Amino acid sequence: TVGLAPNKSNWALPLSEPPYIAIPVTGGITFTFGGLKCDTSARVIDTRGQVMPGLYAAGEPMGEIFYNNYPGASSVIRGAVYGKIAGAHAAERAKGGLG
């Protein structure tokens, strides 16, 4: 690696002993493959699988619905659709109609 850019820092360690492991990654600027787990009413689900009352998500904060790809602008439509669903559900909840 001598003479190759970028210059190596004191944090760079040599790969001198196997086993070597390669992990496929996908870079993304406009999205992530993680996020909040939600039900079909846009309600956020906790780590025990229970609805978190009064907490909703729409668009990019929701867990990604695609496995290994991102169709362009899909978070925009997801934000519009689940935003409407979340708003309607939250309004009904505020009126005392939903738990």
Q: At which residue do the structure tokens 């309600």 appear?
A: 43
Bridge partner residues of 62 (DSSP): 36
pLDDT, tens digit (0-9, with 9 covering 90-100), for 1-59 = 567 777 767 777 777 888 888 887 766 566 566 788 999 999 999 999 999 999 999 98
Per-residue pLDDT reduced to its tens digit, 76-96: 888 899 999 999 999 999 998
Secondary structure class of 56 (helix, strand, coil): strand
Of how many residues is the chain composed? 99
- 97 vs 91: CA distance, rounded Å: 9
pLDDT in the model for residue 24: 78
Give 83's DSSP letter.
Answer: H
